[in-house]
Amino acid sequence: MRYAETGFNLEIDLSRGNIEKEQTDPRLTELHLGGLGTNAKILWDRVPPEVEPFSPDNLLIFSTGLLCGTPAVGANRTIVSTVSPQTLLMGYSMMGGFWAPELKFAGYDKVILRGKSPKLVYLWINNDKVEIRDASHLQGKGAVETTELIKRELKEPKAQVAAIGLAGENRVYMASIEQGRSSASRLGIGAVMGDKRLKAIAVRGTKDINLARPAEFIELCNEVLQYIKAREEHPVPGVMPILAGLGSPQEMRIVDEEWHTTNFMWGNARTRRRDFWNQEVEEKWREIQENVRTRLISCYNCPMKCGAIISVPGISTYMMKCFSKLTYTMAAYSDLDFGFKIAQRATEYGVDGFSTPQVMAFALELYEAGILTDKDMPGIPSDNEGRFYWLLDRIVRREGIGDVLANGTYWAAKKIGKGAEEYAHNNIKKHEQLPLKLGMLNPVYFLMYCTGEKANITQIEGQFPQSPFPTMEEREEFVKDWIQVPDEKFKQYLLKWELRGEYGNPHYPDVQASCYIVDWQEKMHYIDDALGICAGLSSFPLKPPYHIHNYPTIISAATGMDIDEAGLTEITKRNRNLLRAFNVRRGLRRADEKPPEDHWKKRYPELEEELLDAYYQFKGWNNQGIPTKETLDGLGLDYVRGDFEQRGIYNGGKKKRPGTKQASQKSKKAKAEN
């Protein structure tokens, strides 16, 4: 019997309409756990670097995490992986909600999609019965609307549906996959789903998920629950409200937005408004939020309340989570009220709430600078809010200038030219980042921004405070019950860390300490992403209930594999290196690993080089960020090493840049000629 996992994947060929249920090799679970780990393995094996994002040969994998469907608190994440149209690297976006556990209960660990359907379809997975169904009547429908229509036509209110909106159908690079209260938004995976002509996947499952050592496992779950209770009663003092508690974070519950509104940038990641927050704003925003927020809601088996049902009078009800209440508001220099209203339309269209507002603010900057003119923007309204709606409508339909903007700021700027590149100033690896512009270089964040392939800082950072505590008393208080640290040296780093001076940024945490801290942070995310545990209960917040010391026993009790901290660390390294290898094979090199020029005002080029050199070395990578032969062999990834050697990657093998505009146009032409 398989424990925690089902041992089966669904293999769907959308071109031929073929559906297979395939048993998986338990050895892969031992090597990679599941979720992102096994996704990376499948993508490495089956998607060579020549495959473009919108090729039928690109795979789109919907995966559960290893612990989804067990009673592990917060084990509800769906990990969607594919080749991203935006970065041309592996795109792995994730969502909470209810979809992954339902898939487990239906009897599958993953749904692996290949090919391209000749017409718009949706997939209906009802335990052993799996069908590809016509979705032509759903064309152009909103993501939320689609979910409701599918549940109604299947007469299955308990089905869980992941759907794309108009943006996905039109292959907009910011297209998300929406699922009730959650969405997998980053890196354009909704566009790949749309390219495959797949409108939605509906799932219903009524089977068991088994545990290897049930009594021990439940004991551990109870400990986690008790810890959550205690942790929520004792918020961490001295940090902003959203970091004081647990969650992803609980933005819908929290009204105090002083930190975001005065530290994050407004517009196209441009303007910091240090004096924005005052009592008047606080009262007004509290009223707005509490008026539209009907109820706080959770994901499957999680006591956090990170989401909410939002009912703005006059427009359809929808669900929201996390930071999207502010992304539109701040990009448009507008009000919270506007944020809640436009997010409804954006959710139905199915777009990423991080990138999309920035793309629109970018377009308006270009318009003001005269780079885009009235010829490009015929009929654009005169007010800022109206302009945002106008742009959003055009982007998701790829109409006029919307067709250019739909590829994100990096590709749009290249296409527009005339100096537009200067305005696409907030990207890493061609992908829009949080609108943060800070003063002094932070060495830990420098490394995370450079080397993270999720291209999203919130999916890399966590655990270690974002800035030092001013006084020694506060630091000592913080480290007193800091049981999550891998070892004692991390407490020393924090105790020594000062606001400025010799032990302040950028020189402290020093190079070595920075490597250790980043490695720990990243490791925890990689574990979560393999297990399907939400980062909001683990790798993201300070002092979370899951950590490197209890994870091995939890995984062991669930699966029956005996894993200790060293074993878990090795699996994580294997997954990390496999993901990196996939991207290296697609051309990722050191030159791609840099934060936006203006991310910090004070930069230290020599120190930055030293940090990156040291971190690469620490990770067992060469000075181009390529895993060395020794590293790969040591992790049992000798097949990766062999592939690298064959391709001449260690000898500075020519960088492949598949999927550029020209390349794809050429290949289309070639195909047409054939």
Interface residue list for another protein (CB under 8 A): 69-71, 73, 98, 105, 144, 148, 157, 180-181, 205-211, 214-215, 217-218, 225, 228-229, 232, 294-303, 305, 309, 311, 316-319
Give 212 or 438: the residue with its C-beta nearer to another protein: 212
CA Rg, the chain, in Å? 24
Give 127 or 384: the residue with its C-beta nearer to another protein: 127
Mark 76-102 as b/e (b = at least 16 C-beta within 10 Å). Answer: bbbbbbbbbbbbbbbbbbbbbbbbbbb
Q: How far is the CB of 235 from another protein (least distance, A)?
A: 16
Give 297 or 336: the residue with its C-beta nearer to another protein: 297
H-helix or E-strand containing 573?
Answer: helix 565-585
Q: Structure tokens of 265?
A: 């940038």
Give 264 or 300: the residue with its C-beta nearer to another protein: 300
Strand order in the sheet with 90-95: 18-23, 8-13, 110-114, 60-64, 78-83, 90-95
Q: How far is the CB of 363 from another protein (least distance, A)?
A: 32
149: left (phi over 0), alpha (psi -120 to 50) or beta: alpha
Give 152 or 661: the residue with its C-beta nearer to another protein: 152
Give 107 or 506: the residue with its C-beta nearer to another protein: 107
Q: How far is the CB of 417 from another protein (least distance, A)?
A: 44
Q: Which amino acid is at 632?
A: L
Q: How far is the CB of 53 from another protein (least distance, A)?
A: 32
Cβ atoms 110, 38 nearer than 8 A: yes
Q: How far is the CB of 318 from another protein (least distance, A)?
A: 8
DSSP string, 429-471: TTEE---B-EEE--HHHHHHHHH-SS--GGGT--SS-SS--SS
How buried is 668 (Cβ within 10 angstroms: 0-12 exposed, 13-18 middle, 19+ buried)? exposed
Give 302 or 406: the residue with its C-beta nearer to another protein: 302
Residues in the chain: 674
Give 96 or 188: the residue with its C-beta nearer to another protein: 96
Distance CA 400, CA 398 (A): 7
Q: Which amino acid is at 404?
A: V
Distance CA 254, CA 337 (A): 16
Q: How far is the CB of 288 from another protein (least distance, A)?
A: 18
Strand order in the sheet with 198-204: 129-134, 121-126, 198-204, 160-163, 177-179, 182-184
Distance CA 376, CA 207 (A): 55
Pairing of strands 182-184, 177-179: antiparallel
Q: How far is the CB of 211 from another protein (least distance, A)?
A: 6
Distance CA 567, CA 551 (A): 11
Q: How far is the CB of 538 from another protein (least distance, A)?
A: 17
Q: What is the DSSP letter of 296?
A: E
Cβ atoms 60, 12 nearer than 8 A: no
Give 187 or 302: the residue with its C-beta nearer to another protein: 302
Q: Which of 634, 616, 618 is nearest to 626 (CA)?
A: 616
Q: Structure tokens of 656?
A: 């492949």
Distance CA 577, CA 396 (A): 35
Q: How far is the CB of 545 from another protein (least distance, A)?
A: 12
Give 28 or 218: the residue with its C-beta nearer to another protein: 218
Distance CA 185, CA 35 (A): 17
Q: How far is the CB of 297 from another protein (least distance, A)?
A: 5
Q: How far is the CB of 313 from another protein (least distance, A)?
A: 13
Q: How far is the CB of 218 from another protein (least distance, A)?
A: 5
Distance CA 298, CA 640 (A): 40
Q: How far is the CB of 539 from another protein (least distance, A)?
A: 20
Give 295 or 601: the residue with its C-beta nearer to another protein: 295
484: helix, strand or coil: coil
Give 316 or 550: the residue with its C-beta nearer to another protein: 316
Give 138 or 310: the residue with its C-beta nearer to another protein: 310
